[in-house]
A and B are shown apart, each in its own frame.
Chain A
């Protein structure tokens, strides 16, 4: 009791509220609010904007003519409509796979090599910054993935199957953790990804800056780590299964306001 009182007095002086009346979730929300003011994702956004406009690669070209789904060079609003069908590549692509296409066709960089590069090295560093910049240009917009093309519908169904697929040494699936609201792993809320979990939650909160590791994680990296946590083999970077999962989560999250690049523990 005594230490509770002391802790309460300390918190009250700092935050102006009584500690006893707060739930754990309130405490976490407060901590996030305090961090929000200086989200280092901004540093990645600034770097990404420079990279987008910079002439690079063997062809010495910028990415400013890259078509992210809304026409060549249009960045604003692109993120909340990805993954989507692209006629030129005849594929449903997410942001990272689309960027790989642009880096190869416009700049002459080797997409296969970039996809094979471990996170946080070489061109993957450029990828993080580009993803931060492009998603930031859709901040505050509502997630609205197109589902009119047949391939987009097929990808949704594949994503759904992948989401519920149980396997690995722990007999896990994505849905083991993400099919009901109010679940938590330690202090991390687990959003229900089979429905729209709300504004700025789940699909609408990535890419994000991870405070604990000081890294900016794209959706590809987030999914890669989900596979690791399930003890599944790592998925290929920008592979179809990761894109299908993106379509599944994105379509379910229709109408959620994007806060990307967000700030995570």
Chain B
């Protein structure tokens, strides 16, 4: 089971800024280990964000994104008390969803 994300969402004016830290190896599949064997790729492929259950953003990621990625985006119309949830799915089919309340 993957480690939890850290999500912070802060409302300012008519939008909320969401900052997400994800715990993931993001192995590219290009690197070799000490024995010279290729380390299989293992990276997040899909990211989506929901505001009160309604999808507001989807993204397709690949191996070029860094280990333990940081993602920041803004949601128009989100206000304090709203629920923001972020989900990812990696190329092994592993998933993780975490939720935060807009402050």
Query: Which residues of A come within 8 Å of B, CB atoms?
Result: 37-40, 42-43, 46-47, 211, 214
Across-interface contacts of A42 in B (CB, < 8 A): 6, 21
Q: For residue B65, give the distance in angstroms from its CB to the closest CB of chain A.
A: 12
**Of all chain B residues, which has the CB nearest A35?**
B70
Across-interface contacts of A214 in B (CB, < 8 A): 66-68
Q: Is the CB of A38 within 8 A of B4?
A: no
Query: Which residues of B come within 8 Å of A, CB atoms?
Result: 3-4, 6, 19, 21, 23, 66-68, 70, 72
Q: Bound complex: CA of A39 vs CA of B21, how far in Å?
A: 8
Contact (A37, B19) CB under 8 Å given A214-B66, A214-B67, A214-B68: yes
Q: Bound complex: CA of A89 vs CA of B70, how far in Å?
A: 42
Q: Is the CB of A38 within 8 A of B72?
A: yes
Q: Bound complex: CA of A179 vs CA of B19, how far in Å?
A: 39
Across-interface contacts of B21 in A (CB, < 8 A): 38-40, 42-43
Pick from A37, A46, A47: contact of B70, CB below 8 A.
A37
Q: Bound complex: CA of A46 vs CA of B3, how far in Å?
A: 9
**Of all chain A residues, which has the CB nearest B70?**
A38
Across-interface contacts of A40 in B (CB, < 8 A): 21, 23, 67-68, 70
Across-interface contacts of A37 in B (CB, < 8 A): 19, 70, 72
**Of all chain A residues, which has the CB nearest B6?**
A42
Q: Bound complex: CA of A37 vs CA of B70, how far in Å?
A: 9
Q: Is the CB of B70 within 8 A of A43?
A: no
Q: Bound complex: CA of A60 vs CA of B70, how far in Å?
A: 35
Pick from B4, B19, B72: contact of A46, CB below 8 A.
B4
Q: A37-B70, A214-B68 are in contact. List 6 more A-B contacts (CB 8 A).
A: A37-B19, A38-B70, A38-B72, A40-B70, A42-B6, A42-B21
Q: For residue B74, give the distance in angstroms from its CB to the closest CB of chain A.
A: 14
Q: List 26 A-B contacts (CB under 8 A).
A: A37-B19, A37-B72, A38-B19, A38-B21, A38-B70, A38-B72, A39-B21, A40-B23, A40-B67, A40-B68, A40-B70, A42-B6, A43-B3, A43-B6, A43-B21, A43-B23, A43-B68, A46-B3, A46-B4, A46-B6, A47-B3, A47-B23, A211-B66, A214-B66, A214-B67, A214-B68
Across-interface contacts of A38 in B (CB, < 8 A): 19, 21, 70, 72
Q: Bound complex: CA of A38 vs CA of B6, how far in Å?
A: 9
Highest count of chain B CB atoms <10 Å: which of A37, A39, A42, A43 = A43
Across-interface contacts of B66 in A (CB, < 8 A): 211, 214
